[in-house]
Amino acid sequence: MKVLVTGAKGQLGRALQACSPVEAKIHAIDIDECDLTDAAAIKELVAEVTPEVVINAAAYTAVDNAEKDEAKAYAINAGAVAALAEAHAGKLVHVSTDFVFDGTSSRAYRPGDERNPLSAYGRTKAAGEDYQREGDILVRTSWVYTAGGANFVRTMLRLMAEKPALNVVADQIGAPTWAPRLAATIWGLIGKDASGTFHHSDAGVASWYDFAVAIQEEALELGLLNAAIPITPIPTSAYPTPARRPAFSLLDCSATRELLDDGYTHWRTNLRLMLEEEARLG
């Protein structure tokens, strides 16, 4: 099975390559090998590689920057998906986000729930979803992190080592996602020849404050931090950002877990695994 993976150097792209099945022949590319804002370049790449499956793990993820650069965010988050769908007749696996929802639900969001993005980033990701075809796979996820990546966990580790105290938003609720587990889910869906829309995040519920407290506790146990600092929960209103975030973006992953029959893993378990890897990396 020949598989084209975009976003090869990103958190998910690296995880997809690390846990790929033996039968997968991976051709992984990043922005330096193909400009994803250039539809002609994308079509040329697909024609050259002739993949059976394309996994689009590339994205414009700078949520706040997208507010002033929505055209570029759209080109990568939607335009590239359109070009891939037009150029590739086989299965396209596209990765999207909890930010396509507005956060007003009273329960975890199901795959078929109505979208209503609050930000430019969310709008461009929702637009990319609209190029999903029959037979394709759409996977929505949230709060992705992995060892060695640019993410909330590693930012918190740095700030906890540098600052005497931290304030962290406590009224945005969702669930973290460890990239290797997300990658395993994507390969599992491909292996099942699934199609449609699926949700994946780690099990459990958290605010960014909860996540930060757990990061500090686990990092102290592993020796990644020398001392604890005070972490204070604050409302979103006390930390204004250019982009609006959904207050509640928990994803209902039950249909995904039922199809793959692979159980649930709590986010704190995966956080520990990630931090153990961080400790090994030094």
pLDDT at 31: 86
pLDDT, tens digit (0-9, with 9 covering 90-100), for 16-51: 999 999 999 999 998 888 888 999 999 999 999 999
Which residue range is the domain that position 89 belongs to? 2-281
Tell whether the model's pLDDT for residue 282 goes beyond 80. Answer: no
User: Among 121, 131, 145, 209, which one carries the catalytic annotation?
Assistant: 121
CA–CA separation, 256 vs 143, rounded Å? 18
**pTM score, two decimals?**
0.95
145 has catalytic annotation? no
Question: Could you identify the residue written with the tokens 């540098």?
Answer: 162
Amino acid at 151: N
Q: What is 29-69 written as a DSSP string? A: E-TTTS-TT-HHHHHHHHHHH--SEEEE------TTGGGT-
Amino acid found at 36 = L
The tens digit of pLDDT for each residue in 154-186 reads: 999 999 999 999 999 999 999 999 999 999 999
Closest by alpha carbon to 194, among 252, 140, 136? 136
- Three-state secondary structure along 210-279? HHHHHHHHHHHHHCCCCCCCCEEEECHHHCCCCCCCCCECCECCHHHHHHHCCCCCEHHHHHHHHHHHHH
> How many domains does one find in the chain?
1
CATH of the domain at 178: 3.40.50.720
152: Cβ contacts below 8 Å, ≥ 6 apart:
143, 145, 176, 208, 211
φ, ψ of residue 271 in degrees (nearest 5): -60, -45
